[in-house]
A and B are shown apart, each in its own frame.
Chain A
Amino acid sequence: MKGEYLGELEELILLTVGILYKQAYGVAVMDEVERQTGRSLNISAVHAVLTRLEDKGLVSSKLGDPTNERGGRRKRIFLLTATGKRAIEEANALRNQLFNQIPKVALQFSI
């Protein structure tokens, strides 16, 4: 179902929103993703994902205070919600659980 499944980019951006705590808005998320992973995203893609995450209830948003930058436009600051936090945890747990089930021997590579 669309509402439950967390896509790869969505997970990445959800994590980034968590990292940037209280500083997460469009451009900042884009920059942080690029800094951390080297992936350069278009700002519109970031917006689309953020909107989708908000629709799914994984993040919440509020408008920040106006500044002189950005032509006086306010930023929309995104914050993790409890559901968002659980989603990250579940994704993490699932990953670890799967990773741990890989037999040791399959991970032993002799060079």
Chain B
Amino acid sequence: MHHPTPPKWADRFLCWYCRTDLLEEIQGDAYELYERQCKSKGKFRADLAFGWNVLRFFRWSNLKRRTSPYRPAMMYKNYFQVFKRNLLRQKAYAALNIFGLAIGLACFVLISLYIRDEMSFDRMHTKSDRIFRMHEILESEGVGERSASLPFPVAEALQVDFPDQVEQYVRFFNFQSPALAMSTIDHEKEFYESRAFFTDSTFFDVFDFNLITGSKATALDHTNSVIITQSMAKKYFGDTNPMGKYLVFQGEHNLLVTGVLEDVPQSTHFQFDFLISFSTLTHYYGTSWPGWYWNPCWTYLLLRNPSDAPVLEAKMPAFIRKYFPEEIINDVTLTLFPLADIHLQSNHDYEIQPNGSMSTLYIFGCVAFFVVLIAGINFINLSTARAIKRAKEVGMRKTLGSYKGQLITQFLFESVAVCALAAVVAVGIVIAALPFFNTFAEKDIPFSTLLDPFFVAVLILLPLVVGIFAGLYPAFVLSSFQPITALKSASSGEKGLMFRKVLVVVQFSLSIILLVGTGISMDQLMMLQKNDTGFQQENVIMIQTLRTPVAQTFEAIKAEFKSNKNVLEVTAVEDVLGAKHQVGNYSFDVMEKTRPIPRLNVRHDFLKTFDIPLVAGRDYSEEIYTDDSLALLVNEQLVKQMGWTNETAIGKSFNGRLNKQIVGVVKDFNFASRHQPIKPLVIDLNLNPRAFNLFIKYMAVRVSPDDMNSTISFLESKWEEQYPGWPFEYFFLDSSLESLYKAESKLSKITIIFSALSILVACLGLFGLSTHTVEQRKKEMSIRKVLGSSDAEIFLLFTKRFFVLILIAIVIAFPLAYVLMKQWLSTFAYQVDIDFVIFVLVGFAALGIAFATIAFQAWKATRTNPATVLKND
């Protein structure tokens, strides 16, 4: 008898979703109705009704359940137990795994702490989004200065002219002096202070520094007032209350302490210890304040609105034309720089203190990411390799009724648990390492920063992500094993081998890139610091003289100094040669207008002291009295820019007067840091005693290297004889110049440490993997030995496969490292040639380290007695 059949799709759908214990009756009922309706209403209607019924049966109570009702909590207890046992049974692996990941996490957290700290600069002020610093760019054809400071009257004029935008201003000024003398009334305590500034009484209207005693409103209102920080109060006044006491400024001027300030936090772009009321400067300038050319005042504006900045900037060209001196109005640009960006992004001339840099942060960010990636890969590699050992357990669990989902949960649980342990260890490492890291990175990061939501999130999410990734492979591969095969043979062996190989290659590529990067950045640093700046740096003693009585008696003290046979030359110079310089406006030959050009004011014997060769003309001479005003020395770069030759340059007139002539051309030397190429320079003899008030900041004394200590004490005794009450402050030029490349040296120090750690972590991983391989192939090796393999052959067999991986990593990493470093170097004016020796060294280092890691395991493999391994089979 022929039966009409219901539509296949509906029937299949029903079979798919319906619980097996309900399927028979439901399907039976549906069929019965179908048959009945076929007879009464025809096949088409019956088909529709059948479909409809199938849909109606699709309800929760009829659906198949993937898992049977079990108690997850109970299972977790079991997972935890198994996890604990596994961990304890394989202590070495567990330690490798946890420790490796913990190092990676700790590195990541430390670097993040550093980066976060750098990013947080100057944000503690409530008005920080409205505070801007104004910069003056004074450049003609790319030569001149990009100054972080402004002329005296700019701030006030801005507030008067643009009251709608400028709410308040505050200036800082320190005579552009590297340090100023400060002492107690009784001269008991005398120091040179580098962090003393004159500042407007509006200081506290703009910034939110914490005044402990004194009144924010009036502390800086009166002339001769000074606010000092807590540590200075301690330094000068000990435990007595400093309020109402006097400090002597520059040995001649009493300042009343009107406030004590909490020490300035590290995270500001400039630090200060003394704030002297701006009106005190009337003592120095009387009624004739400096005008619109000299630009020594760091000027901060509090705008009414952050969005006023572009509005104000747009008004600057007219402002400049209105006020600035005729000869520079075409070369000046005034720009506003947001306070919070200064530390990382402002890299102008005359910054108050050297700033950080964004690109360094990017580099650190990359390093952090690399290290954590390497550690993560390690972890994934080791866990997947070890997972094979669990095949039997999986088989057993499946036989006893585990669902696939349960196994997946179990493996994920285990790997997340290990990661959580690693996170705990990482926190321990960070807490232990932070004090060292702080000294080393010159930071002041407190432990409490770790409680910041960002780091809590990092420490929770990162292990979770790594754990899930590491757990995914074993979870899915192992849980899909057929119980019978899993139980039967232990060596389902080399599953996922390719995957692990790729990861090892990635890991080592990253480490090699880090190593090469470190090598090249060290090379670059060494090149920058190397003593081929074109002038004598060694054995040059710089003595601070700005605003000291040296002005009146320079020749006398020079003669006194030179009476010692170990004192070779004595001169005076405007700034630290090789680090800083000033800018002056000059015109040459037939030029109609002056243009800003780097300048150094000097005294006689400048070239001799610094051993700078002349290429044409003559040096300044003490016999020619007019040299002070009518003669000029320039460098080759200036000659080149003017289109002259060294010989024709001699006798060219300057500043529009025919009797003012260039008398000599000096060989180019790095008068500024080697971050920039050598620019044009004029060396201007300035014999005016008043120059020591402003232009000439140092005496430079070149001494012979013999018997240095007695020479210095000789200089000191002569100084104290001549200038009682003035501290003898000196430093060696070469050590001072080293600080020019502090940023680079910090960068390379930090990258060295972290790339070393990354290699360590990668090796931990390699060690784990090789141990695992040796264990896996123990039987194979034993059989090989029995059949006559030599120890060497077995040793090679093991080391070969890892060697190949490292070689591939090298091949991948070298070009990448080359390109990356080329890019980094292109930010420097002086670039070291990328030395391929570094690549070779790094290559051998990587192979060597990897070899050392594997060799032990491989050696162990050759030493095992085949009988002990094979007897159990």
Listed in ascending order, the chain A residues whose CB lies under 8 Å from chain B are 25-27, 42-45, 47-48, 51, 63, 69-71, 73-76
In this complex, the member of B24, B29, B31, B35 whose beta carbon has the largest number of chain A beta carbons within 10 angstroms is: B29
- B90 close to A (CB within 8 Å): no
A26→B36 CA distance, assembly (Å): 14
Given contacts A48-B59, A48-B61, A51-B61, contact A43 B33 (CB under 8 A): yes
Listed in ascending order, the chain B residues whose CB lies under 8 Å from chain A are 3, 22, 24-33, 35, 53, 56-57, 59, 61-62
Candidates A51, A63, A73; contact of B27 at CB < 8 Å: A73
Query: Closest approach, in angstroms, between the C-beta of A78 and any C-beta of chain B?
Result: 10
A25 with B29: CB separation less than 8 A: yes
In this complex, the member of A26, A73, A75 whose beta carbon has the largest number of chain B beta carbons within 10 angstroms is: A73
B56 with A69: CB separation less than 8 A: no
Closest B residue by C-beta to A74: B24
Given contacts A27-B33, A42-B56, A43-B53, 16 further A-B contacts (CB under 8 A): A25-B29, A26-B28, A27-B32, A42-B53, A43-B29, A43-B30, A43-B56, A47-B26, A47-B29, A51-B61, A63-B25, A71-B3, A73-B24, A73-B27, A75-B28, A76-B25
Q: List 15 A-B contacts (CB under 8 A).
A: A25-B25, A26-B29, A43-B56, A44-B53, A44-B57, A47-B25, A51-B61, A63-B25, A69-B35, A70-B28, A70-B32, A73-B24, A73-B25, A73-B28, A76-B25
- Main secondary structure on chain B at its contact with chain A? helix
Query: Closest approach, in angstroms, between the C-beta of B504 and any C-beta of chain A?
Result: 57
CB-based closest 7 A-B pairs: A73-B28, A44-B56, A76-B25, A26-B29, A70-B28, A71-B31, A44-B57
Residues in chain A near residue B62, CB distance under 8 A: 47
In the complex, the number of residue pairs spanning A and B with C-beta atoms less than 8 Å apart equals 59
A68→B96 CA distance, assembly (Å): 68
Query: Closest approach, in angstroms, between the C-beta of A86 and any C-beta of chain B?
Result: 25
- Main secondary structure on chain A at its contact with chain B? helix
A69 with B32: CB separation less than 8 A: yes
Residues in chain A near residue B29, CB distance under 8 A: 25-27, 43, 47, 70, 75
A78→B762 CA distance, assembly (Å): 69
Closest B residue by C-beta to A45: B56
Query: Closest approach, in angstroms, between the C-beta of B374 and any C-beta of chain A?
Result: 57
Query: Closest approach, in angstroms, between the C-beta of B220 and any C-beta of chain A?
Result: 79
Query: Closest approach, in angstroms, between the C-beta of A77 and any C-beta of chain B?
Result: 10
A63→B21 CA distance, assembly (Å): 11
A75→B30 CA distance, assembly (Å): 11
A69→B33 CA distance, assembly (Å): 11
Residues in chain A near residue B30, CB distance under 8 A: 43
Residues in chain B near residue A25, CB distance under 8 A: 25, 29
A70→B30 CA distance, assembly (Å): 8
Residues in chain A near residue B56, CB distance under 8 A: 42-45
Residues in chain A near residue B22, CB distance under 8 A: 47, 51
Closest A residue by C-beta to B28: A73
Residues in chain B near residue A44, CB distance under 8 A: 53, 56-57, 59
A74→B22 CA distance, assembly (Å): 11
B59 with A70: CB separation less than 8 A: no
A70→B38 CA distance, assembly (Å): 13
A51→B57 CA distance, assembly (Å): 13
A53→B164 CA distance, assembly (Å): 82
A57→B786 CA distance, assembly (Å): 71
A71 with B53: CB separation less than 8 A: no
B24 with A47: CB separation less than 8 A: no
Query: Closest approach, in angstroms, between the C-beta of A34 and any C-beta of chain B?
Result: 12
Query: Closest approach, in angstroms, between the C-beta of B583 and any C-beta of chain A?
Result: 90
B57 with A73: CB separation less than 8 A: no
Query: Closest approach, in angstroms, between the C-beta of B56 and any C-beta of chain A?
Result: 4
Residues in chain A near residue B59, CB distance under 8 A: 44, 48
A76→B29 CA distance, assembly (Å): 9
Closest B residue by C-beta to A47: B26
